[in-house]
Structures are given as C-alpha cells and as structure tokens.
C-alpha cells in the first residue's frame, strides 16, 4: 500500500513544476530532533519568543549560552537521503523549488538551488541596531574567546540549535555584541511571536502560485506559516500530496497521503518519478 501511494505521488510529480514544502521531519534522520513528531513525545521545551529576546538582557544571555552549547552539534549535521532525493527531483526538472520551515540549511547543502527559508537560517546573525550580518561560525569564535572553559556540549538539542545548559552556567555567560556598533545580535531566524518577513512570504507564495502541485514532506503543519500554503494550493485547485511520519493538519485537504520514514519514502519517490 505504501509503495502504491508513493507511485501515485510520483505520477503527480511527473507533471512537473511541483513545489516542496518541508518541515523538521525531513531533518530528523540527520540527527536533528523535531518539535511535534513521534520522537518529540515526552520532551518538554518552551522556545524563546521574539518579545522576550528583545526586551530582556537575561533572556538573551540564556539564549546565547544555550545556542553556544548547541552550535557545534548543529554545524556538524549533514543532509540525509531525504534531502538528497528532493535535490534530485529538482535536478530532474520535476520540482521547481523548495519552501522550507527549517533553519538548518540542509536542503542547500544537499544541492537544492531554489530554496525559500520561511523561518530564516541559523547560519547567520544580524544586528538589531545597524543591520550588520555576521556568519554564525564567526560569532561562535568570538563567544568562545569570551567564555573560556564554558560547557561546550549538552545532552539534549532542539531544531533551532538550542541545548540544555545549567542555570548557574548561563548566569556566568558573556554575550558578544555586534562587532561594528556594539548592538544586540539576533539569529536570522523567525522566533515565536515574530512574523515571517514580507519579502520571504511573498517569495514563497509566488513559488506556490507558479507551481502545478504541492508536495508536503516532514511537517505536521501545526504552524499556520506553513499550512497557509496548503490552503493557497487548494484554493487554486492544485493537488496536494503529503509524505509524513504521522498525522498532519492538512490530512483533510490532501489528495494523496503516505506515512513512513522520509529517508526511505523520498528516495523511492525520486526513483519512480524519474523512471
């Protein structure tokens, strides 16, 4: 039944000009945990909000201490078979682009060329005062220089690069300012309580508008910033296919739904679609 379902999705993709909407589930097989999938059961965590980060120096200290501990883990992640399959579908001319809710950059590393990062990227930080952008790897070096002997590894990680750090260690952490103006640095990601930048949203909406179909992979679509593209596709009369390891918010709208591990489903899909 699963293979029949994948074959039906492959037939849809052979029409060409499909857009992939991806979520954290495609990166779990690269070792990055997700927020709502089966592997997240029992894991309690409240991500920082934009309002907390902007208003509270203490909140920023906590964020950067945990991010500093988690960055080596995130920087070491590599694309898996699912990412490579999506890139292969684009190279074959069957997928026109990717709208991703992920901030890990693994689609691009796998070879996908047309990627809209809906929630930004962990690989850059931006000054909230002067707008200077700095590579996250560069900031990590500056943080390390200011926090000699800091705990550099933690046992639990999250999709945004956050890691568990004892509160007494957080309290001693020194946050690095903007190297140009001394202002507050924020990762180039959309925090909870923050809106997706308008140009990013319009780029994603335009990509879906130009597509013939939408393929959702690895997302529960619990967050409306992703789910609205399913609604956009359906309102335009475009077919929607969903591949995910578990239920999604769009199960009622999907024309096709296949459940299973994306590291197995997507390579099979790419092989069948290109046949």
Report how far residue 22's alpha carbon sits from residue 82's, in angstroms, rounded to the nearest whole number.
10
Q: Which is nearest to 9 in space by CA: 272, 193, 261?
A: 272
Q: Which residues contact 154 (CB under 8 A, 6 or more apart)?
A: 66, 69, 70, 73, 163, 164, 165
Catalytic site positions: 119
CA distance readout (Å), 36 to 25, 69, 197: 9, 23, 24
Return the ∠ at Cα 12 (arms to 20 and 213), rounded to 5°. Answer: 45
Q: Which residues contact 11 (CB under 8 A, 6 or more apart)?
A: none
The dihedrals phi and psi of 243, each to the nearest 5 degrees, come to -120, 120
């Amino acid at each position: 039944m699963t293979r029949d379902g994948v074959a039906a999705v492959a037939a849809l993709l052979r029409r060409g000009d499909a857009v992939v909407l991806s979520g954290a589930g495609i990166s779990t097989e690269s070792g990055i945990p997700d927020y709502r999938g089966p592997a997240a059961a029992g894991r309690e965590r409240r991500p920082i909000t934009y309002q907390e980060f902007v208003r509270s120096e203490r909140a920023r200290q906590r964020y950067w201490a945990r991010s500093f501990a988690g960055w080596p883990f995130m920087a070491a992640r590599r694309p898996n078979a699912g990412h490579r399959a999506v890139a292969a579908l684009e190279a074959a001319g069957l997928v026109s682009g990717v709208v991703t809710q992920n901030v890990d950059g693994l689609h691009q590393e796998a070879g996908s060329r047309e990627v809209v990062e809906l929630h930004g990227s962990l690989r850059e930080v931006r000054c909230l005062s002067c707008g200077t952008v700095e590579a996250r790897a560069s900031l990590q070096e500056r943080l390390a220089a200011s926090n000699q002997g800091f705990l550099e590894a933690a046992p639990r990680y999250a999709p945004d690069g956050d890691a568990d750090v004892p509160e007494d260690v957080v309290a001693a952490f020194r946050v690095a300012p903007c190297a140009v103006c001394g202002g507050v640095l924020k990762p180039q990601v959309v925090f909870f309580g923050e809106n997706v930048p308008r140009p990013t949203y319009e780029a994603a909406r335009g990509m879906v508008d130009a597509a013939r179909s939408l393929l959702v992979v690895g997302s529960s679509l619990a967050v409306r910033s992703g789910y609205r593209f399913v609604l956009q596709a359906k309102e335009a009369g475009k077919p929607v296919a969903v591949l995910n390891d578990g239920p999604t918010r769009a199960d009622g709208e999907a024309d096709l739904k296949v459940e299973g591990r994306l590291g197995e489903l997507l390579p099979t899909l790419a092989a069948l679609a290109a046949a």
